Amino acid sequence: MNQSDIRKLLESVRAGKLTPEGALERLKHLPFEDIGFAKVDHHRALRQGFAEVIFGKGKTPAQVGEIVRAMLRHKGSKHNVLVTRADRKIFAAVTRVSRAAKFYPLSGVISIERSREITGKGTIAVVAAGTSDIPVAEEAVLTAKLMGNRVAEIYDVGVAGIHRLLEHRPALAAARALRAAGTPGSISSPAAARCASTASRAMNSRMISEDPSKIRLIRMSRRSCSAGTPRSPRAAIEAAVS
């Protein structure tokens, strides 16, 4: 439930379309709902702009299914549901809760899309150095889209064939945020060079590079590029669009 949902709820009470008791029923689980093995954070969208993301790895299929059920049972909320690091067993449990669930085996993402509203500013360009980096890139693409962003996908453009990356200069220059998936030498170096070439633009884009052990956020400004702290793919997207 986000600010817009709460506003609509209060307006419904004021207009007499919803009783105070009905509103209380919808609000009683804020800010979280204790389902025994997990405390589902229904207040996350209100605080951070997007609902809690379910990390599937380490959870049983039944646990993920029940968390999804808790997130979907609130009629006043229409936020998208995102599950990461999932497998087919988890997907089977989620489909028993919602037939709208979709599974992306390459990235291990499960999505339940309930809103296609675009709320992000500009476009996020997701750049993969090689084909083997596409699973990471796809997770970033799906995360960004479910968070209400426009996304441009640019794959297999690593430094070994730099002309492949340069072909996409218009899309890279137009993007408000860039996310690069690959080892630092294969894509972050040309990404950093891209920072210098776009430094004269009146914008603050950000670029993210990833290797198997960490993600490094590179902020692009008019004057300089600087490496930030390690972040997860989802946190990186949240930071890039904030």
User: pLDDT at position 85, please?
Assistant: 95
User: pLDDT at position 195, please?
Assistant: 42
Rg (Cα) of the chain, in Å, rounded? 20
Amino acid (one-letter) located at 22: G
Residue 123 burial by CB count (10 A; 0-12/13-18/19+): exposed, middle or buried? middle
- Which option is the CATH number for 123-241: 2.40.50, 3.40.50, 2.60.120, 3.20.20? 3.40.50
The first and second tokens of residue 23, run together, are 């509103």
User: 136-163: string of b/e by CB count within 10 Å (b at 16+)?
Assistant: bbbbbbbbbbbbbbebbebbbbbbeeee
Going by C-alpha positions, the residue among 129, 142, 144 that lies closest to residue 212 is: 129
Taken in order 228, 207, 174, 191, the sign of the CA dihedral is positive
- Size (the chain), residues: 242
Amino acid (one-letter) located at 103: F
In angstroms, the Cα distances linking 2 to 77, 80, 122, 145, 188 are 8, 12, 22, 18, 35
User: pLDDT at position 224, please?
Assistant: 30
Regions of the chain where pLDDT drops below 70: 1-3, 27-30, 43, 45-46, 48, 75-77, 184-242
Going by C-alpha positions, the residue among 207, 208, 214 that lies closest to residue 230 is: 214
Using a cut of 0.95, tell me whether the model's pTM lies above it.
Answer: no
Tell me the domain boundaries of the chain.
3-112, 123-241
Assess contact for 95 and 83: CB atoms under 8 A.
no
Distance CA(180)–CA(193), nearest Å, equals 13
